[in-house]
Amino acid sequence: MIYSLVGYYSLIIGLIIGLSLFYFSYKNFKNSNILDTKILSFTFLQLFFVVISFLCLIFSFVISDFSNETVFNNSHTTKPLFYKISGTWGNHEGSLLLWLLVLTLFVFLFLVRTKNQPVKYKILTLVFQQIIIVGFFLFLIKTSNPFNYIFPIPTEGLGLNPILQDPALAIHPPVLYLGYVGSSIIFSSVLAATSLKIISTSWASHIKKWILISWIFLTLGILLGSIWAYYELGWGGFWFWDPVENVSLMPWLALTTLLHCILVLEKKSILTSWVIILSIATFTLSMCGTFLVRSGILNSVHTFANDPERGLFILVFLFILIFLSILIFFFFHKDNDRKSHSFFWLSKETSILINNWFMMYFLSVVLIGTVYPIFLDVISSQKISVGPPFYHKLIIPFLIPFLLMMAIGPKFKWIKSQLEDKIYLISFLIISLLLAFLILKNFNQNILINTILISSALYLFFITLRDFFVKKYKNISQNIAHFGFSLLILSILFNNIFASEIITNLKVGETFENSKTKIVFESVDQKKEKNYNAIIANFSISNLNGEEDRFSPELRIYNQPVIATSEADIKTTLMSDKFIVINLVQNQDFFNVRYQVKPFMLWIWLSVILISFGGIVSFLQKRS
């Protein structure tokens, strides 16, 4: 009760501080030699009050204060403490409070950490960021207040959706938000730098660390979401091209492109328009993602409640930001890199430009696949759904030149270059082709596109691997990330090509056998836990070599709310994952059993970690 009050008024105070910051910024902007200390302390105060408000919500969840509507809707006394806390951001209101927390945290850190940049630039960045912050304060207080009362006070809450009760998902939102919302500071500072016309090499190396932070967290956040989908949803896949996944992928693509552009800008002071547009695009795509999933236009686990008012608010706010940035871009930005059109064809900047166009192509494929069904529905009332085949057909062929460019591109020098080590490059290409051919021949999977794809991924793999041992190339972070990417593509390809699946219906005591695998359904147990009851099925599965594994997948009936879920049992080894999931067949004694062997599953996760590790290395390098 008291926590809700404190939390709510903290929000109001935060909003008032946000508004007063506009005034201080205006005064400071006119005579700006040094940054007014008031601005810094008020920004800190704003962060402080948002933190208080967030803590209040967490406490309300911990003590199960059901007079709070958000707690009532999303918690239950029998939930384990860990999920009570993670339930705080497992709902619309709480997650928006988390947005706000990250927004205020980033602007405060930005003001503290930014040195050697004009004061006007800092103030203007703060102003743009405050526009976003105030917008979100209004959104939160007006349409999705996390501290609404319920009277009479219910004795019990409705519970957290069981599929959200998972360790990976508990930390997925905070990590993802650090990336997603972190891009807001890039957006604000780009607008500020454009208006002041100070986009330069020094600005680029200053903003680069912020881009890296967002990028690292966004990568890890997407990874966590993907791991969750693999373990919890029980479909045995890790990426479904679901609209919600796509809206997180789009900012990532834009941010990755931006990261490459900023490197060029840092060295050569060209591609400024690219940098500005990509920075704007990254944040607006993040916002657009929020709009799409929260307004209920798209349906997913992230659509917490359908409230058209909320959707309308974000939509209007999003387009205000878009129009603001368009105006600033066209009004202040004069394209001064005419010389950029004449850069030499064989140089690092050319290869990064090619990379940009590839990335933009991937981005537009994902964007069209996600948004086009909405457009079609509005224009002609036709409902279509865009599934994996669309993305696979449009993206996979283009991965081949993309991978080759990734291998060769970093070899070029700035401005003008010649390809060195030609013999190595060509011999590696031949080795990769042969190796890919042999691997696929061995497994009777010899399809031309697969061979070419695997050989181009292998090529990138070998080239980057070799570069670890050649001292000449000092760009270790780039090499780690590209190496990780080659590993990712290889793992995904092998995972897809060599996966095997058995689907069958079994009763207790029955055995399924084919040429390679023997599945014995041994027994069924029951288990009672605090927040669910479970049926545990025991299987013993042996393969040709006589290796035997025991599996116990579960069917869980959660008590609040009453929802049945299937918990897959997964045995992870270095080389492959064995995955078994059961479902009850309606009105019969049979269980539907799905057993999959998925090679290189672990490597998918590891390679993404490696990619973000490349980012971390680059981040640490810059600071020293």
Partner 1 sequence: MKNKILPFSVIIIFGIIFFIFYKGLQNSNIYTPDKNISSDIPSTNFKNFNSNIIFNSLNFFQDDKVYLLNIWSSWCIPCRQEHNFLMSLKKKKKIILIGINYKDNKKNAENFLKELGNPYDQIFIDNDGTISIEWGAFGVPESYLISNNKIIKKYIGPLNQQYVDEINLLIK
In this structure, which long-range contacts are made by residues 365-369, counting pairs with CB atoms below 8 Å and at least 24 apart in sequence?
Answer: 365/391, 365/394, 365/395, 366/246, 366/249, 366/250, 366/253, 366/391, 367/250, 369/241, 369/246
Binding segment (CB under 8 A) for partner 1, from list 155-163, 249-257, 429-437, 547-555: 155-163
Cα–Cα dist 192/266, whole Å: 18
The tokens describing 123, both together, are 């103030």
What is the rounded CA–CA span in Å between residue 365 and residue 371?
10
Question: Using the rule CB under 8 A, which residue among 472, 587, 623, 624 binds partner 1?
Answer: 587
Q: Is 296 in the site for partner 1 (CB under 8 A)?
A: yes
Task: Please identify, among the stretches 87-95, 154-162, 238-246, 544-552, the one whose residues bind partner 1 according to the rule CB under 8 A.
Answer: 154-162
Q: Which of 12, 19, 312, 575 binds partner 1 (CB under 8 A)?
A: 312
> For residues 582 and 592, is the Cβ–Cβ distance under 8 A?
yes
Q: Which is nearer to partner 1, 73 or 226 (CB)?
A: 73
Instruction: Determine, following the binding rule CB under 8 A, whether residue 530 of this chain makes contact with partner 1.
Output: no
- What strands lie across the sheet with 576-584, from one edge to the other? 500-506, 591-599, 576-584, 569-572
Contacting residue, 201, 357, 377, 401, with partner 1 by CB under 8 A: 377
319 contacts partner 1 (rule: CB under 8 A): yes
> Which residue in the set 291, 304, 462, 521 belongs to the binding site for partner 1 (CB under 8 A)?
291
Q: Which is nearer to partner 1, 335 or 547 (CB)?
A: 335
- Burial of residue 301 (CB within 10 Å: 0-12, 13-18, 19+) is middle
Distance CA 375, CA 378 (A): 5
Residue 197 backbone class (left: φ over 0; alpha: ψ -120 to 50; beta: rest)? left
Instruction: Name the residue nearer to partner 1 (CB basis): 323 or 398.
Output: 323
Torsion of CA 16, 19, 22, 23, to 10 degrees: -70
326 binds partner 1 (CB under 8 A): yes
Q: Of these, 16, 198, 311, 606, which contacts partner 1 (CB under 8 A)?
A: 311
24 part of the interface to partner 1, by CB under 8 A: no
Q: Does 586 bind partner 1 (CB under 8 A)?
A: yes
- Binding residue count for partner 1, defined by CB under 8 A: 31
Residue with smaller CB distance to partner 1, 49 or 558: 558
Say if strands 563-567 and 554-558 run parallel, antiparallel, or are unpaired. Answer: antiparallel
Q: Is 374 in the site for partner 1 (CB under 8 A)?
A: yes
322 forms part of the interface with partner 1 (CB under 8 A)? yes
Residue 78 binds partner 1 (CB under 8 A): no
User: Per CB under 8 A, does 535 bind partner 1?
Assistant: no
Is 303 a binding residue for partner 1 by CB under 8 A? The answer is yes
323 binds partner 1 (CB under 8 A): yes
Element of type H or E holding 506: strand 500-506
Q: What angle do CA 305, 307, 313 make, to 5 degrees?
A: 125
Q: At closest approach, how far in Å is the CB of 375 from partner 1?
A: 6
Smallest gap from residue 322 Cβ to partner 1 (A):
6
Cβ neighbours of 247 (radius 10 Å): 25
Is residue 297 close enough to count as binding partner 1 by CB under 8 A? yes
Segment contacting partner 1 (CB under 8 A): 16-24, 375-383, 491-499, 594-602? 375-383
d(Cα 601, Cα 17) in Å, to the nearest integer? 49
Give the integer Cα–Cα distance in Å for 604 and 552.
24
Binding mask 46-65 for partner 1 (x = CB under 8 A): --------------------
Closer of 375 and 443 to partner 1 (Cβ): 375
- SS3 for 555? strand
Q: Which is nearer to partner 1, 130 or 560 (CB)?
A: 560
The reply on whether position 330 binds partner 1 by CB under 8 A is yes
Maximum Cα–Cα distance across the chain: 83
Min CB(292)–partner 1 separation in Å: 9
Give dist(CA 85, CA 416) in Å, integer.
55
DSSP state of 124: H
Binding site for partner 1 (CB under 8 A): 154-156, 158, 291, 295-297, 299, 303, 306, 308, 311-312, 315, 319, 322-323, 326-327, 330, 374-375, 377-379, 561-563, 586-587
